[in-house]
Every structure is written in structure tokens, then in C-alpha cells.
Structure 1
């Protein structure tokens, strides 16, 4: 248990391979059940077998934290050398969008002060047609709202460690990743 109140589950044709990839790039550990567990603040990553290949963008993606521009560069190189691929975001944004070897989207953020206690995963972002309604069940499960605006609701554990869980208006609402209550 990580104390975040949630777990992220990936569906993949080769879940064990993907679990080891994420453990490597995050510098976390893989348990005997192929669950990737943080070595500090973080969120458990679970991997389920799926016959389906990924098609389209996921409703859920991970945003990775950078401590400094040098750390961002080192993380970018580690991701790329491990097999992550760049995507063409096509706009001036404060992150680098990439995909893991299974095609799941991830973002490497520019350094920002608010992410100091998140661990390497700054936030888990969920595409939503109604962020207020989608976040309500997580608030009743013990997470607290730390940011609310018309297009985004960000939640965090009461301990204020681990990644944020963010519900963002728009974007896809299905895919090969999902957020589950912490097991």
C-alpha cells in the first residue's frame, strides 16, 4: 500500500515486460506478482494481460516529475534509451509527450515547485466528461480536492505525498489504463 488511495492498472499483451520497463525507468521495484511498487512516495502500478492491442489515446496517462532541467534531461534520456518514443504534440507545452513501449502516453513535465512530495510520478491524469462527478467518488473514498477550476479537479492524499489524481475535462474516456481504489 502506498497511501495514495488509488492504483493504476495497465492492460497489455505482455504485462510482465511492461511492468519491468516501468520499474526500470521509475527506479522502483517489481514484486513477484508483477506489481511495480514505489521505493518512496508513489502509486502502485498493476499490469493485467490483454489480448487487445492499444488503439487510440488512453483516458489515463502518467505525468512524470522533473526536479531540475538537468534531471529532466537525464530522465528524458533514460526514457528514450529504455524504448520510450516521442510523440508530436504540435504545440508549445511545458512537457515532453512520449509513449512507453506498449504505446501508452506519458508526459515528462518541466520542473515545478508543487511536485516536491509526489515521487517520480507527479500526477495521474484521467480524461473526463464531468470532472466534478468523477472526482466525487474519490473524495468520498478519502482523497481531498487541492485544485478546482472549470476544466480540472486535482485530488491528493490527506498525507500530501504521492502523485495527484487529476480529472481533466475532455480527451478520451477509455483505453488500456484505468485507476482503481488502492488495493
Structure 2
């Protein structure tokens, strides 16, 4: 089992926000998927945010209209737009939740058709090939893609774990955990 842990100023409030964003349910400071997904645990006090998180979540879109509606819905719920150096030419929209944690609302991609609303958990790391091998061993899931600077696998629970080559690594306010959420 894989889960995501957020450090938050308002753990229960941010859990409710993410539950609404994904259409899942929040119990105290834990968000549980209704269908494919991973549990998300929110803890206080927050680790100070000093730069882009080294882990972020990618949200799936059915089509371009759904992508626009998701961006609008998240913005109206308190999300902001974020610039992490992506430029204007990318087909996804980079946003941040109410506490500044980055997320992407992806354009429709066939590869994510069975993931539920959470398409991928994206992790910055120095060596994507090594990390995907470790997580393949931990999860028992096969590697689905391993290219120069980018590797991933699909979790049994639906979303992908994707590793991007980056000099910074998975620092910040989010952590990827194994084991049951308590």
C-alpha cells in the first residue's frame, strides 16, 4: 500500500479541500479514495515551504472540456496558478492548493484512463531508473516505462508513480509512504 503525506498548517482543512478536489471522502485528516487512488494523510505542524515540492500530484482529465472545468472548479475552491518554470507551451495547467502545494491538471492522456481522478504521484529524484526499480520491488508492480530521465510504474490501486530526474530530490511538504495509513 502506498500513501501520500502532506505537512499542513490546517491538516483537517487541507484534507477536506483535497477530498473535494478528487471527489473522495475525508475523515479527520485522512482522505480516502472512492475507487482507484491512494490514501492521503495530512499532519500538522507544517514543514515550512521554501521552494517547489519534490513530489506533486497530477490530476486526470477525461477531455479538454473536463480539464477546463477542473481548473475552474479548483480555482473557485481556493487553488492558485503556479509557475515552476513550465513555460507557456505545456498542455497541462500547473496550480497550487490553498497551502501552496503544486499540482498539475493534465490534458487528456489515454495512459491514465483507469487511474481515477489521481493520474500520478510525481517524484523528483537524482536517478529515476534506480528509484523505479526500488519501488517496483516494494510494490510488486512492474516498471511500465523507463526512459532517459523519466521512469514509472502503475500502482495496483490505480495511479502511477512517476520519477523525474532532478537535482533537488523529493524534498518539501509531501512524502510518499508505504504501509497502512493510521
TM-score (norm 2): 0.91
d(CA) in 1 for partners of 2:63, 2:82: 22
Q: Give the drift of 1:72.
A: 0.8
d(CA) in 1 for partners of 2:147, 2:47: 35
RMSD after superposition: 1.4
Work out whether 1:75 is the aligned partner of 2:70: yes
**What residue is the counterpart of 2:145 in the other structure?**
147
**What residue is the counterpart of 2:165 in the other structure?**
169
Q: CA separation of 1:117/1:51 partners in 2, compared to 1, >3 Å: closer, same or farther?
A: closer
**What residue is the counterpart of 2:154 in the other structure?**
156
Contact 1:11 1:50 in 2 (8 A): yes
**What residue is the counterpart of 1:117 in the other structure?**
114
Q: Give the drift of 1:73.
A: 1.3
**What residue is the counterpart of 1:40 in the other structure?**
35
d(CA) in 2 for partners of 1:103, 1:23: 16
How many residue pairs are counted as aligned between the two chains? 176
Match of 2:133 among 111, 123, 136: 136
d(CA) in 2 for partners of 1:171, 1:47: 26
Contact 2:152 2:160 in 1 (8 A): yes
Q: Give the drift of 1:135.
A: 2.0
Q: Which runs of 5+ in 1 are unaligned?
A: none
d(CA) in 2 for partners of 1:51, 1:163: 26
**What residue is the counterpart of 2:21 in the other structure?**
25
Q: Give the drift of 1:107.
A: 0.3
Q: CA separation of 1:51/1:40 partners in 2, compared to 1, >3 Å: closer, same or farther?
A: closer
Match of 2:82 among 64, 87, 100: 87
d(CA) in 1 for partners of 2:115, 2:95: 20
TM-score (norm 1): 0.91
Deviations 1:77-121 (A, max 9, x none): 110001000123323112000000110000000011111110101
